[in-house]
Structure 1
Amino acid sequence: MSLSLEFCGEWFSVDPNEAFIIGREGPLRIEDNPYLHRRFLAISCADGLWWMENVGSRLSATVADSEGATQAYLQPGARLPLVYASTNIIFTAGPTTYEMQLLNDTPAYTPTGVTDSTDAGETTIGPIELTPSQLLLVLALAEPVLTGRGTTSSIPSSQVAAKRLGWPITRFNRKLDHVCERLTRYGVRGLHGGPEKLAVNRRARLVEHAVATRLVTSDDLFKLDDPSSYDDSSV
């Protein structure tokens, strides 16, 4: 069985006999980000399956199949099997968002369709439809990631995204609240938390989920050229 990982155009082969570490140390070393754990994600082989474990203490990762049909929120201490032929990994450390792809030549599961069920909030299956204004908001936040696929990106502040859309910041924040509440009701985790949660964490988690599940794609970006034409008055 063979597993390969692509990051910023560079390919890595994962050895089934030793853990493959993603972090500031290890085979996939990202040294220039002090917000990233030394050891963040560990990929290993056991019981005939590939596994990914979050061995960090603070950061989480979004893991989804390439079609965006299923996605998991991998929190510190969590572990999941890598059962798809192609798996996308997205995570944010400090101001930077990273995107990686895993290719598995012996996948244990091949999706046959999309359903609307959820599993206790751990995994979300199937996309939902956003209103036109909600889609614009998510696009404004996800634009750097969608235009820079294969590179690292920074998620814009609410002020910058609101200006991109020509909205007052109060409207942007209100709609951001509604989008996060809606996705939380749908079972998406990490969009709501206590007062200690930084606002950037919510925006990053929203972008990670939207890009990983193909809620927004680069094909939608043209709407940002003339957002007023695609806006609506609904929440």
Structure 2
Amino acid sequence: MTAAGKGATKAASSDALIVEFAGEEFTVVPGDVFTVGREGDLAIDDNLFLHRHFLTIEYVERLWLLSNVGSRLAATVTDSGGRVQAWLAPGARLPLVFAATSVVFSAGPTTYDLVLHLDAPAFREMQPRDEDGGLSTIGDVPLTPAQRQMILALAEPMLRRDGTGMSELPTSAQAAERLGWTLTRFNRKLDNVCDKLDRSGVPGMRGGVRSFATNRRARLVEHAISTRLVTREDLPLLDAPRPSAGEDDS
């Protein structure tokens, strides 16, 4: 991994934006066009699945804008609390209005996570009113214990890493082995969860003629992490007693 950034050497101002990746910080000031990709101000990785120039950040009319300048990859963008989520498709742009914005995307088998910080955000996050006994509606998709274990097996490397950065996405065979399942059972759970999220309006969960199996798993992990569908605190469930195939076929 390499990282470089002309903004890293500039003095911060009240309008500055900080890009945090893998423990490093890059300061971007109005007038800069900060580029993220295989090349650019933040040269993330030599991953050939990643665009040379994938994301740009620039200050336009008193707003910071995040743009997807790639042609194939999308990014999941959320506020720090996981309460607001957007899918940034190729050609799309999004204003950055929160104090901290998480950007998660996958290129091939690798998932990347960076955080964008604003000192003077347009919106301040507010604590939600506790009208439902502390239960959150974000990512509130009913899952069976086995379905949650399936998601955790895929998301485990990303949940265990320290700080922002990158993690390798397990193959279906590796995740199935982690759970002690057959590959057929794992794929059935994956199909069921992706269908459930697709019906809930989550984009990218259905495969197509030009879609690869890796893409759907990566998109599931992106969604699960960014919406707190699973968290690091859920990891002990991976080693919890597992229902047999006959007890949980969903």
**TM norm structure 2:** 0.85
Question: Does residue 1:193 correspond to 2:211, yes or no?
Answer: no
Instruction: List gaps (5 residues or longer) in structure 2.
Output: 1-14, 130-136
Choose which of 173, 196, 220 in structure 2 pairs with 1:206: 220
Please name the residue that 1:148 is paired with. Answer: 161
Query: Aligned residue for 1:58?
Result: 72
Matching residue within 108, 112, 136 for 1:98 = 112
What is the identity, as a one-letter code, of the residue corresponding to 2:161?
A: G
Q: Hey, what does 2:139 align to over in structure 1? A: 127
The DSSP-based 3-state class of the residue aligned with 1:152 is: strand
CA contact (8 A) 2:139 2:224 kept: no
**1:69 correspondence with 2:83:** yes
Q: Which amino acid aligns with 2:139?
A: P
d(CA) in 2 for partners of 1:192, 1:106? 38
Match of 2:43 in 1: 29
Alignment check: 8 A CA contact 1:165 1:227 kept: no
Letter of the structure 1 residue corresponding to residue 197 of structure 2:
L
Aligned twin of 1:83:
97
| Structure having greater relative contact order (Cα 8 Å, sep ≥ 6) | 1
Q: Highest CA radius of gyration, 1 or 2?
A: 2
Cα shift readout 1:76-133 (whole Å, capped 9, x = no counterpart): 001111111111111111221111111111111234439xxxxxxxxxx822142211
Equivalent residues in 2 for 1:159-178 (5 A)?
159-178=173-192
Residues 1:32 and 1:201: Cα distance change in structure 2 (over 3 Å): same
Letter in 1 for 2:248: S
Asked if 2 retains the 8 angstrom alpha-carbon contact of 1:132 and 1:230, the reply is no
- Cα distance per residue 1:22-50 (max 9 Å; x no partner): 01221101242122111100011112111
Change (3 A) 1:170 1:31: closer
Q: 1:2: Cα distance to partner?
A: 2.0
**Distance verdict in 2 for CA 1:230–1:85, change over 3 Å:** farther
Q: Supply the distance in 2 between the matched residues of 1:2 and 1:99 (Cα, whole angstroms).
A: 20
**Residue matched to 1:39:** 53
State how far apart, in whole Å, the 2-side matches of 1:205 and 1:31 are. 19
**Which amino acid in the other structure matches residue 134 of structure 1?**
Q
Q: Which residue number corresponds to residue 248 of structure 2? A: 233
Question: Shift of the alpha carbon at 1:227?
Answer: 4.6
Unaligned runs of 5+ in 1: 115-124
CA RMSD of aligned residues (A): 1.9
Mapped to 1, the partners of 2:205 and 2:214 lie a distance apart of 11
Q: Extract structure 1 runs of 4+ deviating beyond 6 A.
A: 229-232
Identity of aligned residues (%): 53
Question: Secondary structure of 1:215's partner?
Answer: coil
Partner Cα distance (2:144, 2:58) in 1 = 40
Kindly indicate whether the alpha-carbon contact (under 8 Å) linking 2:207 and 2:213 is maintained by their aligned counterparts in 1: no
Q: How far off is 1:151 after superposition?
A: 3.2
